[in-house]
């Protein structure tokens, strides 16, 4: 990972135009090619970013990041305060909690809960940046990558987006669709998933386990 702290301005051209005026910011270039620009605030979310696959060129005082969709980020460096690179090694990945791991197990055994005629190809299907929870085929043989969370938030949609980028490079699989599954999918995650053509689904953990709800019902 390359970590740069610099006074810079940033211009984005793509689905819209955006400009970040001159200020001191953190620029991260990850090993997978992702480029993110952060301010000293705003929690985890970057001010601007571009996921892999992309192309980064670094000329004197100007970094340009482009992707196959035609989007461009130009980072104009006024002053570099720090520039360092770190080898973080292979990440072991996020360890799922008991509920999340059990959801994966239950849905792998009951793919018809995800879609009629669906069948499991493999759990923890590997990609170059980590395994996607389930790889399935629908009734027509199409490939679907399924990412499962206990709480469905934007981070999970971003994670599935990265997996889909890599899976769709495999000519034996593509086109690969995505489905984001959770006990509860947050409204922002629903919007982002829909915008990226990713289906989302909320599932009842107790129902999957065969436990009846305590809620009173008329029938």
Tens digit of pLDDT for each residue in 168-210? 999 999 899 999 999 999 999 999 999 999 999 998 888 887 7
Kindly report the average pLDDT of the chain as a whole number: 88
Q: How far apart are CA 55 and CA 35, in angstroms?
A: 10
Q: How far apart are CA 7 and CA 48, in angstroms?
A: 15
pLDDT of 122: 93
State mean pLDDT over 34-46: 87
Per-residue model confidence as pLDDT tens digits over 44-73: 789 999 988 899 999 989 999 999 989 999
Confidence label for 118 from pLDDT (cuts 50, 70 and 90): very high
Is the whole model's pTM more than 0.95, yes or no? no
pLDDT of 95: 54
Quick one: fold of 2-85?
Protein Yojf; Chain: A; (2.70.180)
Q: How far apart are CA 103 and CA 208, in angstroms?
A: 8
Tell me: pLDDT of 215 over 50: no
Contacts of 98 (CB under 8 A, 6+ apart): none
Tell me: pLDDT of 219 over 60: no
Confidence label for 212 from pLDDT (cuts 50, 70 and 90): very low
| Domain 98-208, CATH class in plain words | alpha beta
Domain extent listing, the chain: 2-85, 98-208
Say if residues 195 and 180 touch (Cβ distance below 8 Å): no
Tokens 């699989």 correspond to what residue? 173
Per-residue model confidence as pLDDT tens digits over 137-171: 999 999 999 999 988 999 999 999 999 999 999 99
């Amino acid at each position: 990972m390359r970590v740069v702290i610099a006074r810079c301005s940033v211009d984005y051209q793509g689905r819209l135009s955006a400009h970040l005026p001159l200020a001191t910011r953190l620029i991260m270039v990850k090993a997978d090619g992702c480029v993110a620009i952060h301010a000293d605030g705003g929690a985890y979310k970057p001010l601007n970013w571009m996921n892999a696959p992309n192309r980064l060129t670094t000329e004197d005082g100007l970094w340009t990041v482009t992707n196959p969709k035609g989007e461009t980020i130009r980072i104009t460096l006024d002053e570099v305060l720090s520039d360092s690179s770190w080898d973080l090694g292979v990440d072991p990945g996020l360890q799922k909690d008991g509920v999340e791991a059990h959801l994966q197990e239950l849905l792998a055994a009951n793919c018809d809960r995800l879609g009629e005629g669906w069948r499991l190809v493999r759990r923890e299907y590997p990609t170059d940046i980590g395994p996607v929870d389930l790889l399935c085929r629908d009734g027509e043989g199409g490939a679907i990558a399924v990412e499962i969370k206990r709480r469905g938030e934007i981070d999970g949609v971003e994670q599935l987006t990265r997996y889909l980028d890599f899976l769709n490079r495999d000519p034996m699989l593509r086109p690969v669709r995505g489905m984001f599954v959770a006990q509860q999918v947050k409204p922002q995650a629903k919007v982002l998933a829909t915008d990226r053509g990713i289906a989302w689904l909320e599932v009842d953990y107790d129902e999957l386990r065969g436990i009846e709800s305590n809620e009173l019902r008329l029938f």
